[in-house]
Amino acid sequence: MRNFSHKLKLSSALLKRLQHRVTAGNLNSPRCFTTTEGHRPTIVHKRSLDILHDPWFNKGTAFSMTERDRLDLRGLLPPNVMSSKQQIERFMVDLKRLEVNARDGPSDPNALAKWRILNRLHDRNETMYYKVLIDNIEEYAPIVYTPTVGLVCQNYSGLFRRPRGMYFSAEDRGEMMSMVYNWPSEQVDMIVVTDGSRILGLGDQGVQGIGIAIGKLDLYVAAAGINPQRVLPVMIDVGTNNEKLLADPLYLGLQQHRLEGDEYISVIDEFMEAVFTRWPHVIVQFEDFQSKWAFKLLQRYRNTYRMFNDDVQGTAGVAIAGLLGAVRAQGRPMIDFPKMKIVVAGAGSAGIGVLNAARKTMARMLGNTEIAFESARSQFWVVDANGLITEARENIDLEARPFARKVNEADRQGLKEGASLVDVVRKVKPDVLLGLSAVGGLFSKEVLEALKESTSTRPAIFPMSNPTTNAECTPEEAFSIVGENIIFASGSPFKNVDLGNGHVGHCNQGNNMYLFPGIGLGTLLAGARIISDGMLQAAAECLAAYMTEEEVLNGIIYPPISRIRDITKEVAAAVIKEAIEEDLAEGYRDIDSRELCRLNQEEINTFVENNMWSPEYPTLIYKND
């Protein structure tokens, strides 16, 4: 709260309320950290080794001598009291040792070793772990998140040491309502849940998918400042259809095929009821559910619970922001977006999510009428594993049906049902080629050669599939084949390309990580009843407007990950504002909806900032229960 009133000239009544909120948070929840946490003690109900073994409270060698006395720690630690800065220096020496002989590149085998070292730190000292992650986010996001998190999921049986998060399995039916009370935290703000059925582009990983929920929540803490004591990764194990895992005696999940139909839904229903009973204000992010369930569950829960599907809705927003950036990068106004011809490879949860959102955005720009919505449809050409989707296809997925081209439209373009991607690109000459297919190398030399005939002055190539090996093409391939004048965005990080003439081919990371943390934080702080399309749209528009004209003209359409905390703050503020406008905001803690409504833009920004957790050690005070 330093300089708060001075800076924003807030009314003293409002200032008091905001100040009270921060204070009350600490007192009500002794383990709650906030930005002002460093100045207020935290009450703990344990001492001695119990403290050292609790990653939420542990400070390791940073416990001061007086604290060591107060908490019965004297003698349990080496005598030299270290500052947190020294602790991190010592840790980084260990972590960096791995890099001495490391070759470049995200798939380097050292990535897994780095993950192990970071994970051990996560297990023993959360504050320090998040400090390392936040201060070095560019370097370690690719370790705790895509691409390395994919490798972690695939090798989970071997890597598993200490459990993290909760596991609900098909065997727990009827027990979930009581099981949920086994989690030690009284307050949970954010749950990321997966059933492991489609982890990144790696298919069914069964129980091993918990790694993705952990990785996403790491970003919630690092980017959105959600208190790490209030996040909960969840794995719902309904079996796996991955035969390799089923045959592996060391596999840690249920060794049975996946539940289907009503049996499956009843497990997810029971889980939702249990977590919302214990934590009525929690937000649940569905992650990496196979498409057939992703859409059904989203429709089933989105009007009842505070939930969203990151792959369907988060990805859509990030892609829209990127597509609008691609329009601006041609020196055209965003309103030209409805003129873009877009080829999408992949009609799963992510591809269809993007198509629906892009169509709606175009329709809005064209006047938001039925006719506008209908005409926007004709900007898209969708190719899946069976080629171009037209109305001639038998058994089209319900979600893909609105994007099936009419047979006569396809004919006019010289295309048939099931036409190959290269033929579609050759004939359509799209402005944008976007991949959410999970097929590495799908944008082959031929496909990229065909894109050279694009009618766009600056074609956009978005190989958005993860992890790195599943990217539809590399930036080197894109820039060398299609030319320098492209916009490139991939789902997993790549290094910029040296184009050899003093020019740099910029590699953007088009990943839902730029939106989901802000969507979650904004929803939390607004106390929104549900997450509406308008809130998601506001998040996407905020990201789209974040980059300056100059950056966009230089091909930079997304912020670097080093700015993820800043963009997340802005996205959260945009989400809150929209929730207020839609009358969905019920307030957060002791800031009720009326007070929220009175906040101006600057005050909303400050409200967000003041409720983001930072990794600072609080002073610990022991109190008997």
Ligand X SMILES: NC(=O)C1=CN([C@@H]2O[C@H](COP(=O)(O)OP(=O)(O)OC[C@H]3O[C@@H](n4cnc5c(N)ncnc54)[C@H](O)[C@@H]3O)[C@@H](O)[C@H]2O)C=CC1
- Smallest gap from Cβ 330 to ligand CC(=O)C(=O)O, in A, equals 27
State yes or no: residue 350 binds ligand X (CB under 6 A): yes
* Residue 90 exposure: Cα atoms within 13 Å on the Cβ side: 11
- Selection from 559, 462, 586, 515 nearest residue 309 by Cα: 515
With respect to ligand CC(=O)C(=O)O, which residue has the nearer C-beta, 350 or 599? 350
With respect to ligand CC(=O)C(=O)O, which residue has the nearer C-beta, 36 or 511? 511
What span, in angstroms and rounded, lies between the C-alpha atoms of 594 and 573?
17
The set of residues, in sequence order, having a beta carbon less than 8 Å from that of 168 and lying 6+ positions away, is 176, 179, 234, 235, 236, 237, 267, 271, 274
- Smallest gap from Cβ 311 to Mg ion, in A, equals 4
Q: Residues in contact with ligand CC(=O)C(=O)O, total (CB under 6 A)? A: 9
Per CB under 6 A, contacts with ligand X among 386-425 are: 421
- Is 431 in contact with 341 (CB distance < 8 Å)? yes
What span, in angstroms and rounded, lies between the C-alpha atoms of 188 and 182?
13
Backbone angles phi, psi at 587, to 5 degrees: 95, 170
Binding mask 509-528 for ligand X (x = CB under 6 A): -xxx----------------
**From 25-33, 167-175, 286-294, 491-499, span contacting Mg ion (CB under 5 A):** 286-294
Binding mask 601-620 for ligand CC(=O)C(=O)O (x = CB under 6 A): --------------------
3-state secondary structure of 157: helix
Q: Does the annotation mark 216 as catalytic? A: yes
- Smallest gap from Cβ 197 to ligand CC(=O)C(=O)O, in A, equals 12
With respect to ligand X, which residue has the nearer C-beta, 405 or 577? 405
Q: Which of 130, 145, 251, 305 is catalytic?
A: 145
Beta-bridge partner residues of 579: none
The set of residues, in sequence order, having a beta carbon less than 8 Å from that of 506 and lying 6+ positions away, is 488, 496, 554, 555, 556
With respect to ligand X, which residue has the nearer C-beta, 125 or 205? 205
Q: End-to-end alpha-carbon separation of the chain, Å?
A: 31
Which residue in 118, 153, 200, 400 binds ligand CC(=O)C(=O)O (CB under 6 A)? Answer: 200
**From 163-171, 178-186, 379-387, 611-619, span contacting ligand X (CB under 6 A):** 379-387
Which residue in 58, 242, 454, 512 binds ligand CC(=O)C(=O)O (CB under 6 A)? Answer: 512
* CA pseudo-torsion sign 254, 256, 258, 263: negative
- Is 177 in contact with 211 (CB distance < 8 Å)? no
Q: In what order do the strands lie in the sheet with 432-435?
A: 387-388, 380-384, 342-345, 432-435, 460-463, 487-490, 507-509
Shortest-Cβ-distance residue relative to ligand CC(=O)C(=O)O: 466
- Smallest gap from Cβ 287 to Mg ion, in A, equals 5
What span, in angstroms and rounded, lies between the C-alpha atoms of 425 and 381?
9
Which residue in 288, 423, 477, 595 binds Mg ion (CB under 5 A)? Answer: 288
Q: Which of 114, 216, 360, 569 is catalytic?
A: 216
* Residue 207 exposure: Cα atoms within 13 Å on the Cβ side: 25
The set of residues, in sequence order, having a beta carbon less than 8 Å from that of 282 and lying 6+ positions away, is 188, 189, 190, 191, 232, 275, 276, 306
Residues in contact with Mg ion by CB under 5 A are 288, 311
Residues in contact with ligand X by CB under 6 A are 198, 200-201, 291, 311, 315, 318, 345-351, 383-385, 421, 436-439, 442, 464-466, 470, 491, 510-512
Active site residues: 145, 216
Residues in contact with ligand CC(=O)C(=O)O by CB under 6 A are 146, 200, 288, 310-311, 466, 491, 511-512
